[in-house]
Structure 1
Amino acid sequence: MTAPLENYHARMQRVLDYIDQHLDGDLDLETVSKVAAFSKFHFHRQFTATFELSVHRYVQLARMKRASHRLAVRGAQSVTDIAMDAGYDAPDAFARAFRQRLGQSPSAFRKSPDWEPWLTAFGPLDNARNKLMQIIFDQDDVTIRDVPPTPVAILEHRGDRSTIPDTRRRFTAWRKAAGLSPETNPTFMIFRSERMPAVPADYSMDLCIGTDLPVEPDDAPIKPGVIPGGRCAVLRYPGNTTNLEPAALYLYRDWLPASGEEARDFPMYSRRQLALIPNVEAHEVVLELFLPLK
């Protein structure tokens, strides 16, 4: 990375940090552009071009995310106070915006948070920060584990990646109907093809959730399966992302040749689970990439 680009990223990082630390303050365009020392006449376009969302949208999402944290801590604040702190003049307006974004009312979320839509709703915030993150792996980031066999329920995705959201919706609907939660049952993706095959229709991937419950015939196209046990190289990925290509590239191109290990005849797969951090208001995503070894 060139020195000018590093400086640009540092200035943009300063803006994100300032916004996150001053959500109760005045975060208009003039204020945040001064933090980055950019012209306010161009800053909104620079911010949007860099992060793929506007300053106003980023602030909205950041305030809503903080509100969801406070709701999850039952009894900490009233819904009305949380709505006001999020910048809404009335609880009804806050409730409408909250339901539209997370699929639950604030009171329902406080009683029983559904964290999977939460991750999706606030994904743009993670993506914004990832734009400035240059993830560099080294040998110490990889551990070799003996992984036990894991019974799973599987929904196969075959075909163009553009239809993955539909596959995810069907899988999520089945998971919820079966009473399986990503907080207690880890989810897996088994990558059976390249991420971007030359022929888009050749893309192949399995969505799985760990469970030893029987899969009934009426549950088709869900089917039972097992992720085989054995030795695996495991790379833990920082943060929540759907793009594991940098991690996969590192394992195949750099780690495997230097390790003296050989890959086993089973595809690379990822494991994701939500974990509540003690004394912290949000959920952490535990995301790991597994390369099966001989």
Structure 2
Amino acid sequence: MKNSTRTTYAARIDAVLSRLQAALAQGEPLPGLEELAAVAHFSPFHFHRVWRALTGEPLGRTIARLRLQRALQLLEPAASVVSDVALACGFDSSQSLARAVRAELDTTPGELRGDAGRIAAARRRLAPPSPSEAEPPLQVEIVSLEPFEVIALRRRGAFEDLDAGFGALFGWAAEAGLVDAICGLYGVPYGDHRETAPADFEFDCAIALATADAAPPHPMHRLALPAGAHARLRHVGPYEGIEDAVDRLLRDWLPQSGHALRDAPIHYAFLDDPEVVPASLLRADIHVPLAPGN
């Protein structure tokens, strides 16, 4: 990444951190997603993904660290009151603060209070993630996709259980005599399975057909995938690692590309069958929508 580009993106991240720290210091409600995205000059649609890619951690993790860092600051005086510190940092009670401190730092607010050595050690443990080691350059293409529809089935659950969704689509295609018309497998994630609980993670499993006459039964539905300019990156390896590849695209390629993201969902084109191809050789094309005019 060019130094000037690295500096620009680092400044965007620092601006968001400063905004969050200022809100915590003043005891204000934390700004919402749209405000933070505006501070960083990123699309709200993709802000969570971009934040994780550029910082190495989810936004929720960043906020949790900043709350605890603020708590450490307020616990420096020996006379500090733990319940007051908890409320000042956005915790519901001193018990909530104690649970967070125990989980992250293996100690208690009372043990930290007024102890400069313990607080310094705790601050080191709350440091942000270190930058990842240099990796081979990415082979990213800019492609223009034509409008097309797929037959989709929305699934809610663990990422590793998506086979059931594709199985249902293939089962319907077999009953309808359309198996030979299947010409592609696609997926549209609504969230990041690495940081979303299975009960909340939604994903559209989808198949493309060479015929436009199919009428899928509910809850299957027709879905138009975004057309226009996309950054395309081929991921090779277990499909569970596809989000890591998205991180690399957003972290290592996007900042120096001159492109901006478009408010449309990312989608994947799955090129291999996990039941036939070894996990290490599975291929999927990641399509990230780009704003026009770049």
Band the TM-score falls in, shorter-chain normalisation: 0.3 to 0.5
> Which protein has the larger Cα radius of gyration, Structure 1 or Structure 2?
2
Q: Which has the higher contact order (CA 8 A, sep 6+)?
A: 2
TM-score, normalization: structure 2? 0.45
